[in-house]
Amino acid sequence: MVMKGVTADLTLNTTPDGFDVTFNGDKIFQHTPDDPVVWLGYGVANFSERHGNFQFKDDLQLKVPLQNFTVVVLEGDLIQLDLTTDDDPTLSLILTVAWTGANRLDMNSSLQYSGSNDYNRIWVRVWAEEEESVWGAGEQYTYLNLRGRHFPIWTSEQGVGRDGGVIANVTDIDGDAGGEYYTTYYPQASFLSSRKYSMILKDKHYMVLNFTDTFRHEISIHTTSFTAMLLQADTLMKTVQSLTTLLGTQPVLPDWVVTGTTLGLQRGTDEMLLYYEAAKNAGANISSLWIQDWSGTIQTVIGHRVYWNWRWNQTYYPDEMINNMIDLGLSGWMADFGEYTRLDMYSKDTTTYDSEERHNYLPVEWARCNRDALSVSGTLGELVPFMRSGGLGSSSQQLLAWAGDQNVNWAFGDGLPSTIVAALSLACEWNGYNSLRHRRIHDTSSGYHEVQGVTAEVC
């Protein structure tokens, strides 16, 4: 039996015990009693944090399949299905799929429940093809094609090592900082399919995008609602462009960012000026200096690094250097550490976000705060704050994304190659500006090389 609305773009195909939802001829949902589209459950989550590195444990206590369905509405460009379960007769979930034109679907769910179970988990399964490739989920460093793996959407430190080797084991000793293949500063609740569609999940709760199954992509969220958009076009590039238009674009960078070299220097005023003058005398066009150790440095078990107390170190950079910097004019700053929000932190904002939402929401608001400061001061298009943390909504607020710190090697897990994967991964979500940084072991300037450019028309 085929039931469909006015438009041929959105179609509902039903059988006595199942249904398919297709869009422009492509299957989006396939439901059977043995493999339902939606599951609900409840569990208790435990997050622990140290220096922006998060450990997560979930005590899942119940997971029930919504195997039964009834067609509630099928008219115009709208499909509504009532999903129920034999395990809990008081439970009902309305799944809505609406065609909104311009090759876009809007999807959401509404839970109706009068029982005693405290449901706080939802799983939604999207149809997949065996040979399908999937990209995105924000800035992923290890794998470009996400098939065969799962990816939590939770902003955190990227991790040092990330491959389970010696470096990761050592850094785990100093702050649980080893990381995993999926840990990232910039996760985004969306993905791009080789079937020429992009799915955007509009939720800030802890989420997992699971691409391990051959014939379905499973989305699990720490809430009972599902709100998503699906954009589709006849080419991958047009799909990405549609997503970029929807999420918003960055302003054009000032000329000094792209026409000159930014030197990353450290170890105090004298050493910084020494290399700055050497570069100028050699004929280099130096447009700016990046000084990240203004707060000083510290020796740890994993080596020499910036001292994270965020107070000006007057020994490294005394007053005369500050005056010189003011005279030259600061042109930007690293707007970092949006990923550090613990779940027990609060703000003066009275907006009712729960702790998980607030954690993933802060990087977006931090980007908005920096951009607002430039707009108010009239310096938008002149100054360039850059940041590594982000999420869904950051693309319209950030001026420049950067990939953070990687290991001093060519390892695919956390070396220089991982920054290429990261740039391509983020470009599959939106066309924007991305800066890559890699520390060299024996660099004569004891600083950084920058790989700069525009992450355009890739994937």
Q: Which residues of 19-49 are buried (b: 16+ CB within 10 A; e: fewer)?
A: bbbbbbeebbbbbeeeebbbbbbbbebebeb
Q: Based on the fold, state whether residues 284 and 373 are members of the same structural domain.
A: yes
Q: Which residue has the higher pLDDT, 433 or 415?
A: 415
Is residue 383 domain-shared with residue 355, that is, in the same domain?
Answer: yes
Provide the β-strand partners of residue 230. Answer: 105, 199
Taking CA atoms, 24 is separated from 12, 18, 21, in Å, by 12, 20, 10
- 372 included as an active-site residue: no
Q: Which domain holds residue 325?
A: 255-455
pLDDT at 149 (0 to 100): 97
pLDDT for 230 equals 97
Task: Indicate which CATH number applies to the domain containing 224.
Answer: 2.60.40.1760
Q: Which of the four pLDDT bands, split at 50, 70 and 90, describes residue 459?
A: very low
26 is an active site residue? no
Q: Which strands sit side by side in the sheet containing 78-84, from one edge to the other? A: 68-75, 78-84, 91-101, 104-113, 227-232, 197-201, 187-193, 134-138
Overall average pLDDT of the 295-317 stretch: 80
pLDDT at 456: 35
CA 83, CA 88: separation in Å to the nearest integer?
Answer: 12
Question: pLDDT tens for residues 369-416?
Answer: 888 888 888 888 888 888 889 999 998 898 888 888 888 788 888 888
Query: Which of 198, 28, 239 has the alpha carbon at shortest distance from 124?
Result: 28
Report the distance separating Cα 217 and Cα 261, nearest Å.
43
Least confident of 158-162, 317-321, 438-442: 438-442
Identify whether the C-beta of residue 205 lies closer than 8 Å to the C-beta of residue 142.
no
Contact call for residues 105 and 34 (beta carbons, < 8 A): no
Domain termination site, one of 227, 246, 265: 246
Confidence of residue 173 (pLDDT cuts 50, 70, 90): low
The first and second tokens of residue 187, run together, are 């996760």
* Per-residue pLDDT, 439: 39
Does residue 58 or residue 312 have the better pLDDT? 58
Residues 72 and 154 placed together within one structural domain of the fold: yes
Mean pLDDT along residues 240-264 = 87
150-153 vs 134-138, strand pairing mode? unpaired
DSSP one-letter string for 209-278:
EE--SSSEEEEEESSS--EEEEEE-SSHHHHHHHHHHHH--PPPPPHHHHHSEEEEE-S-HHHHHHHHHH
* Angstrom distances, CA of residue 27 to CA of 195, 216, 366, 456: 10, 11, 38, 29
339 is catalytic: yes
Over residues 286-297, mean pLDDT: 86
- Number of domains composing the chain: 2
Is pTM, for the whole model, over 0.75? Answer: yes
- One domain for residues 148 and 24: yes
Contact between 251 and 121 under an 8 Å Cβ cutoff? The reply is: no
Please pick, among 9, 339, 356, 365, the residue that the annotation labels catalytic.
Answer: 339
Q: Are 247 and 392 in contact (CB under 8 A)?
A: yes
Whether residues 343 and 371 fall in one domain: yes
Burial 297-312 (b: 16+ CB within 10 A, else e): beeeeeeeeebeeeee
From the candidates 20, 218, 405, 450, which is the catalytic residue?
405
Which residues, 6+ apart, have CB-to-CB distance to 142 below 8 Å? 162, 181, 182, 412, 413, 418, 421
Percent of the chain exceeding pLDDT 70 equals 85
Residue in the structure block whose two tokens are 């389970």:
164
Please tell me whether residues 312 and 394 are part of one structural domain: yes
What number is the average pLDDT over the span 28-47?
96
Q: Comparing 370 with 125, which gets the higher pLDDT?
A: 125
Catalytic residue among 139, 336, 414, 429: 336
Q: What is the CATH number of the domain that holds 399?
A: 3.20.20.80
Same domain, 239 and 353: no
242 and 313 part of one domain? no
Q: How confident is the model at residue 434 (pLDDT cuts 50, 70, 90)?
A: low
